[in-house]
């Protein structure tokens, strides 16, 4: 039910006669305790719940209904009443249903004392929860499970569920880490394979180059041997040429000698 545009029920006299309205916020503990009182007394048909959005309170709530502008408030018999503890007592004594307070006057007085102490107690508990325990009350030492086996079981189950949830979280994180490690390993392996391939190919290149060098060396040696052979032949040819030249020069000297000329002319 949205209350943002809703007109207060006091504007409708017919509803005013037969209906009361409890303005609440679902999450407000003060409103919740009046709401519980209403349900405990079986007044669901008599007291209608109207939720107020505290983050966006309708203007009419403060202007026409409850200047305090807080929840809870009760609209009843043309009146607006606030303050949850007063409201609990008001609902208890002005509506039908089982009484919240005991009939015995002494017990009743004690119950009223307890009710009056509720807010102080709650404040102490909440302060204690926030890590600032109030020493004199020692509320943080109070065992709320004592004599409440179901509550103890529930807390145990809650704790176990919490532990299971934490373990699941740890497991999920470990699995994530494992996957990351595996991916890393695979990448390293792949890089190793690439490096190995490069090494093999470099070795093959080196072997091919060594072979080429070997072939070239052989060719060089052959060429050098053939050159030496040719040089030897040149030396022989030169010696032969020189010998021939010497012979020819000896011959011509002999032929042009005066003695040979005289033989020719004789």
Ligand X SMILES: N[C@@H](CCC(=O)N[C@@H](CS)C(=O)NCC(=O)O)C(=O)O
Nearer to ligand X, 20 or 25 (CB): 25
Residue 71 sits in the site that holds ligand X (CB under 6 A): yes
Least Å distance, CB 87 to ligand X, is 7
Least Å distance, CB 25 to ligand X, is 6
Instruction: Tell me which stretch binds ligand X (CB under 6 A): 24-32, 196-204, 212-220, 247-255.
Output: 24-32
* x/- letters, 84..113, toward ligand X (CB under 6 A): x-----------------------------
d(CA 98, CA 108) in angstroms, rounded, equals 14
**Exposure of 225 in the CB half-sphere (CA atoms within 13 A):** 6
Calculate the alpha carbon distances from 37 to 58, 100, 207 in Å: 26, 8, 97
Least Å distance, CB 59 to ligand X, is 14
Nearer to ligand X, 65 or 71 (CB): 71
Residue 54 sits in the site that holds ligand X (CB under 6 A): yes
Q: Are 91 and 37 in contact (CB under 8 A)?
A: yes
d(CA 258, CA 248) in angstroms, rounded, equals 18
Least Å distance, CB 57 to ligand X, is 8
Residue 69 sits in the site that holds ligand X (CB under 6 A): yes
Give the residue ranges of DSSP H helices in the chain.
13-18, 29-40, 59-60, 84-94, 105-129, 149-255, 258-265
d(CA 37, CA 108) in angstroms, rounded, equals 17
d(CA 30, CA 24) in angstroms, rounded, equals 9
Instruction: Tell me which stretch binds ligand X (CB under 6 A): 65-73, 98-106, 107-115, 160-168.
Output: 65-73
Number of shown-chain residues binding ligand X (CB under 6 A): 10
Residue 28 sits in the site that holds ligand X (CB under 6 A): yes
Paired with 75 in beta bridges are 21, 80
> Residues 83, 100, 115, 125: which binds ligand X (CB under 6 A)?
83
Residue 48 sits in the site that holds ligand X (CB under 6 A): no
Nearer to ligand X, 28 or 47 (CB): 28
Residue 80 sits in the site that holds ligand X (CB under 6 A): no
Residue 30 sits in the site that holds ligand X (CB under 6 A): yes
Residues binding ligand X (CB under 6 A): 25, 28, 30, 54, 69-72, 83-84
């Amino acid at each position: 039910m949205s209350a943002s545009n809703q007109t207060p029920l006091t504007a409708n006299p017919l509803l005013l006669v037969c209906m009361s309205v409890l303005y609440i916020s679902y999450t407000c503990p003060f409103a919740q305790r009046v709401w519980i009182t209403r349900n405990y007394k079986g007044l669901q048909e008599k007291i209608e719940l109207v939720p107020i959005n505290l983050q966006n309170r309708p203007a009419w709530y403060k202007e026409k209904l409850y200047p305090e502008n807080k929840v809870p408030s009760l609209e009843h018999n043309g009146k607006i009443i606030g303050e949850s503890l007063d409201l609990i007592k008001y609902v208890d004594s002005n509506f039908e249903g089982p009484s919240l307070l005991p009939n015995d006057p002494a017990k009743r007085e004690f119950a009223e004392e307890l009710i009056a102490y509720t807010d102080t107690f709650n404040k102490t508990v909440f302060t204690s929860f926030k890590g600032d325990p109030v020493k004199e009350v020692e509320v943080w030492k109070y065992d709320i499970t004592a004599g409440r086996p179901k509550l103890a079981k529930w807390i145990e189950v809650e704790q176990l569920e919490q532990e299971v949830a934490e373990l699941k979280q740890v497991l999920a994180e470990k699995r994530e880490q494992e996957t990351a490690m595996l991916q890393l390993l695979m990448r390293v392996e792949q890089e190793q394979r690439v490096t190995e391939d490069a090494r093999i190919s470099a070795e093959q290149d080196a072997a091919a180059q060594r072979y080429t060098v070997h072939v070239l060396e052989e060719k060089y040696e052959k060429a050098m041997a053939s050159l030496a052979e040719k040089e030897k032949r040149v030396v022989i040819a030169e010696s032969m040429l020189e010998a021939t030249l010497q012979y020819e020069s000896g011959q011509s000297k002999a032929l042009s000698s005066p003695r040979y000329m005289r033989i020719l002319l004789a």
